Amino acid sequence: MESVLLSGAATLLGEARRVVVFTGAGISAESGVPTFRDDLTGLWARFDAQRLATLEAFHSDPDLVWGWYEWRRARVRRARPNPGHVATAAIESLVPDSMVITQNVDDLHERAGSRAPVHLHGSLFAPRCIAEAAHPAPFPGTADDEAADPGEGRRLPPPRCTRCGALVRPGVVWFGEALPEAALASAVKAAAACDVLLTVGTAGVVYPAAEIPRIAADSGATVIQVNPEPTPLDMICATNLRGPAAQILPALVAAAWDVPEKK
């Protein structure tokens, strides 16, 4: 990472009044959370991730799908926010008019101190029933910070909604489903109004979420990318900072606001 690029990006970030931090799987991978298709290991490798992540699969074999998602949730709970997540929360505290928009279904931003990140693809920690009302549902018999690991490859019966009796499903967006309307609208509005958008750890190829950095650029915002590798977003970015989020974001925050870099 060239210091001149970091310095220039820090100046832009430090002068911004409205900031959006847009994150993808890369930032969570640095905490040891596997990407979606990499999360089929051992016994789970017998299955196709894309086929498990559908409403049809849940109706066909709810115990299998719920078991896999509970196993994923338990793995996320064992992970810890990395310095990239912490630096993102610091940006929120330093720029009152800021928003975190994430494609990730984990809760690492929340645990790092982010106020209310917008989850475009839902969350492993927000189950709801499959009824039309989509009642929010708590996890039965476990505290929020004590995800019970059902074991790899195990089927696990999903609970029933305490309000209507329908099966409870994972609160993520499955293939064939639309993004949450309110989350997408909030993300689009923020992207269109921001001065700077930081895109972190995402290749920018999953739509419609991948439109968010492009909306910001089209609206006149400066887009800064943090990613170890080139991506299709390179062409719309004013600056491309190559490297891991856990390394670059803390350095960027320290340079932007002249604060000691947290290790």
Q: What distance in Å separates the CA atoms of residue 209 and residue 184, rounded to the nearest whole number?
A: 8
Q: Is 34 annotated as a binding residue?
A: no
- Quickly list DSSP for 55-72: HHHHHH-HHHHHHHHHHH
Q: What distance in Å separates the CA atoms of residue 5 and residue 250, rounded to the nearest whole number?
A: 15
Q: Which two tokens stand for residue 102?
A: 């994430």
Q: Which two tokens stand for residue 100?
A: 């975190």
CB atoms within 10 A of CB 203: 16
Q: Which two tokens stand for residue 45?
A: 């490798």
Choose among 125, 102, 124: nearest CA to 201.
Answer: 102
Q: Is 207 annotated as a binding residue?
A: no
3 to 8, 128, 226, 227: CA distances (angstroms): 9, 46, 14, 16
* Ramachandran area for residue 262 (φ above 0: left; ψ -120 to 50: alpha; else beta): beta
Q: Which two tokens stand for residue 79?
A: 């992970």
Q: Is 242 annotated as a binding residue?
A: no
Q: Is 164 annotated as a binding residue?
A: no
Q: Is 103 annotated as a binding residue?
A: yes
213 to 5, 37, 206: CA distances (angstroms): 19, 24, 12
Q: Is 50 annotated as a binding residue?
A: no
Candidate list 85, 109, 119, 121, residue with the active-site label: 121
End-to-end CA separation in angstroms for the chain: 18
Q: Which two tokens stand for residue 225?
A: 């990318």
Q: Is 245 annotated as a binding residue?
A: yes
Q: Which two tokens stand for residue 81?
A: 């926010």
Whether 109 sits among the annotated catalytic residues: the reply is no
Q: Is 161 annotated as a binding residue?
A: yes
Q: Is 146 annotated as a binding residue?
A: no
Q: Is 194 annotated as a binding residue?
A: no
| Residue set of the binding site for NAD(+) | 103-106, 227-229, 245
Annotated binding residues for substrate, as ranges? 69, 72
Annotated binding site: which residue ranges? 69, 72, 103-106, 129, 161, 227-229, 245
**Which sequence positions are flagged as catalytic?**
121
